[in-house]
Amino acid sequence: MPRSTPAHQRSPFGARILGPREQDLGKLRIRVQVLLTLVAVSTNLIGAGIVFVVNNFAVPAPKPKHEMYVALAIAVPTYIVVAAVVGVLWGTSASLRALRWATEGIDVLPTPKQRRQALNVPLHLTLMQLTLWLAGSAFFTVLTIIIQPSRAVSTGLTVGIGALMVAGVSYLLIEFALRPVSARALVGTEVTDRVRFVGVGPRMLLFWTIGTAVPLTGLLVAAILALAQPSETSLRQMAVVTIATSASVLTWGFVLTDLNARSVVAPIVAVRNALREVADGNLDADVVVYDGTELGALQSGFNQMSAGLREREKLRDLFGRHVGHDVAAAAVDATTGEVKLGGETRVASVLFVDLTGSTSFAAGHAPSEVVSVLNRFFGIVVDEVDRRGGLVNKFMGDAVLAIFGAPTHDEDHAAEALSAARAMAIRLTKEVPEIEAGIGVATGTVVAGNVGHELRYEYTVIGDAVNSASRLTDLAKETNTGVLAMWDTVVSAADRGRTDESIHWEKHGSAVLRGRAAKTPLAIPIDL
């Protein structure tokens, strides 16, 4: 069953409406333009509608005159249309100019100036919205003073509060719409601190002020106005004012809190999902850095961590390829995390392989051909040793030393070494016919461990079995099979219940091996 795409990859910017991680610049430009236009038009229309209702039906002020209704019926739609057109043309064009490098691909990476401009577009557009609304507040307040002065305070108050609330919502929506552009602006940078004007903490405080404190301040002013003119304010009207203001606090407070929460949660969720991928073993997981606040530092920090893990895994794999993954794991003390020097005594099987006549072969062939033959030879040896859980400990010119039973414990080390020797002999004859090899297998007590200094050491095995395997390799070159083992190794395999391997071997005389006084019984494979 195919693995599903992680959520942070399906929606790299927190929402599918913002498009994929890599998208055509032309489509990105259209997407940004459409979203900014929708934000500007929708927030202004909704804000104007709410201000109109609150100002005419929920403020403790004299009822509007007929002339006031007529003037507002003409002025409000006219101003909304003019403000929307000016906002869209002014704001969108100014934003696209600031984002030209990102939406038209003029530069591969932004300059520091372009990066600042791109990240501050939400703030600039919000200030533009606020400017238009404050201009509208001044305009309608002056209009009210001319036609019905008794409503001037309530008009200025409601439009001013509306301006702040619309600006707050606009900022969050614009910041949301421009996430793909912010991601391009932050490419190649390490966000160690916020680079956007408003950080997470100040932003939360700011939107609490706009969504809760400002409407409640309006209710406070309404109560003061009611006390100032008790004869003109009924209990019913004050109740309506309280209900309208409370509804405004609940509605706008919820909207602002929800949008702000989403802007904070989206980067955190992306990092959480990416962390799950890393926990599952995918060290290539990363997240798109699109936030210029402390959350961007979190996203960037995760990517740096992921890159560090990939580099560490690369080094560990490289180290494991040089010395063997089992040796790499055994080299470090699990309790202290430090390198352990020294060795331990254990019974193991040693396999030694050496090419025959490699010097004369090298002299009569081109270097590239010699290297090709050696690589095929080493490839077969490493493949058969790894397949049986052994360790290729050393490459010595045209010879290889392999160990079974160290550093990891293996009860079947004798059988695995014998099996590897037979398989190598068969494959070398077929796959490397250009040159012959001798293979020797010996079992015995060895000292295995890290030898050297903490700054430079290697894993090695020392003991009679190593010397015996080397000597058997020389003797094996004189046999028809090219393989020779100690009979004790075959017996050890049979004693461990591995008769499936021991039945392939038979006795083949005896010889006095290096370091030994008595003769050692030998064995050769039957089926070679």
pLDDT surpasses 90 at 438: yes
Q: What is the mean pLDDT of residues 306-325?
A: 69
Span 280-296, pLDDT tens digits: 888 888 888 877 777 77
What does residue 345 show for φ and ψ, rounded to 5 degrees? -90, 130
Q: What is the mean pLDDT of residues 483-510?
A: 93
For the record, the structure tokens of 130 come out as 């606020």
- Which has more pLDDT, 157 or 482? 482
pLDDT surpasses 80 at 210: no
Identity (one letter) of the amino acid at 469? A
DSSP category for residue 516: -
Q: CB under 8 Å, gap of 24 or more: what pairs does 384-389 form?
A: 384/420, 384/423, 384/424, 384/427, 385/351, 385/420, 387/420, 387/423, 388/416, 388/417, 388/419, 388/420, 389/416
If one counts every other C-beta atom within 10 angstroms of the C-beta of residue 438, the result is 23
Q: Are residues 252 and 349 in the same domain?
A: no
Closest by CA to 360, choosing from 406, 398, 311, 312, is 398
Cα 231 to the chain's mean position, in Å?
67
Q: How confident is the model at residue 2 (pLDDT cuts 50, 70, 90)?
A: very low
What is d(CA 145, CA 87) in angstroms, rounded to the nearest whole number? 27
Domain of 408, CATH number, reads: 3.30.70.1230
Question: What pLDDT does residue 347 have?
Answer: 92
Q: Are residues 382 and 502 in the same domain?
A: yes
What is d(CA 341, CA 16) in angstroms, rounded to the nearest whole number? 55
- Which has more pLDDT, 344 or 374? 374
| Mean residue pLDDT across the chain | 79
Q: Are residues 73 and 174 in the same domain?
A: yes
Question: What pLDDT does residue 5 have?
Answer: 55
What is d(CA 24, CA 102) in angstroms, rounded to the nearest whole number? 11
Q: How confident is the model at residue 376 (pLDDT cuts 50, 70, 90)?
A: very high
pLDDT over 90 for what percent of the chain?
Answer: 20
- Which has more pLDDT, 367 or 199? 367
Q: What is the mean pLDDT of residues 326-332?
A: 55
Question: What pLDDT does residue 229 have?
Answer: 62
For the record, the structure tokens of 477 come out as 């070159």
What is d(CA 320, CA 39) in angstroms, rounded to the nearest whole number? 56
Q: Are residues 400 and 254 in the same domain?
A: no
Span 122-172, pLDDT tens digits: 888 888 888 888 888 888 888 888 888 877 777 777 777 778 778 878 888
What is d(CA 198, CA 397) in angstroms, rounded to the nearest whole number? 65
Identity (one letter) of the amino acid at 207? F
Q: CB under 8 Å, gap of 24 or more: what pairs does 83-91 form?
A: 83/44, 83/132, 83/133, 83/136, 84/40, 84/41, 84/44, 84/45, 86/132, 87/40, 87/44, 87/128, 87/129, 87/132, 88/36, 88/37, 88/40, 88/41, 90/128, 91/36, 91/40, 91/125, 91/128, 91/129
298 falls within a domain: no
Q: Are residues 134 and 208 in the same domain?
A: yes
Beta-strand runs (E) in 206-365: 342-356
130 falls within a domain: yes
Identity (one letter) of the amino acid at 486? M
Q: What is the mean pLDDT of residues 33-41?
A: 81
Q: What is the mean pLDDT of residues 394-415?
A: 89
pLDDT surpasses 50 at 429: yes
Question: What pLDDT does residue 237 have?
Answer: 65
Helices (H), 60-151: 66-86, 93-98, 100-104, 112-119, 121-147
Q: Are residues 346 and 442 in the same domain?
A: yes
Question: What pLDDT does residue 42 have?
Answer: 81
Q: Are residues 265 and 352 in the same domain?
A: no
Q: Which pTM does this prediction carry?
A: 0.57
Q: Length of the chain in residues, anyone? A: 528
301 falls within a domain: no
Q: Are residues 145 and 254 in the same domain?
A: yes
Q: How confident is the model at residue 417 (pLDDT cuts 50, 70, 90)?
A: very high
Question: What pLDDT does residue 424 have?
Answer: 95
Question: What pLDDT does residue 48 have?
Answer: 76
Q: Are residues 385 and 261 in the same domain?
A: no
Name the domain count of the chain. 2
Residues 222, 232: contact at Cβ < 8 Å?
Answer: no
- Which has more pLDDT, 442 or 293? 442
- Which has more pLDDT, 331 or 183? 183
* Cβ-proximal residues to 437 (8 Å cutoff; 6+ apart), any chain: 353, 354, 355, 356, 377, 424, 425, 428, 477, 482
Q: Are residues 241 and 361 in the same domain?
A: no
pLDDT surpasses 50 at 372: yes
Element spanning 301, H or E = helix 294-323
What is d(CA 199, CA 11) in angstroms, rounded to the nearest whole number? 23
For the record, the structure tokens of 268 come out as 């955190």
* Bridge partners for 404 per DSSP: 349
Question: What pLDDT does residue 473 have?
Answer: 94
Q: Please spell the DSSP secondary structure of 380-434, one letter per residue.
A: HHHHHHHHTT-EEEEEETTEEEEEESSSS--TTHHHHHHHHHHHHHHHHHHH-TT
pLDDT over 70 for what percent of the chain?
Answer: 80
pLDDT surpasses 70 at 10: no
Element spanning 242, H or E = helix 235-279
436 falls within a domain: yes
- Which has more pLDDT, 313 or 337? 313
Question: What pLDDT does residue 322 have?
Answer: 54
- Which has more pLDDT, 4 or 65? 65
Question: What pLDDT does residue 326 have?
Answer: 58
Q: Are residues 100 and 225 in the same domain?
A: yes
pLDDT surpasses 50 at 320: yes
Measured between alpha carbons, how far is residue 362 from residues 282, 359, 369, 397 in Å? Answer: 44, 5, 9, 12
Residues 216, 245: contact at Cβ < 8 Å?
Answer: yes
Q: What is the mean pLDDT of residues 288-317?
A: 78
286 falls within a domain: no
* Bridge partners for 344 per DSSP: 448
305 falls within a domain: no
Which range of residues forms the domain containing residue 461? 333-525
290 falls within a domain: no
382 falls within a domain: yes
pLDDT surpasses 50 at 336: no
Tell me: cis bond preceding 407? Omega within 30 of 0 counts. yes
Q: Are residues 183 and 100 in the same domain?
A: yes
Question: What pLDDT does residue 335 have?
Answer: 44
- Which has more pLDDT, 222 or 478? 478
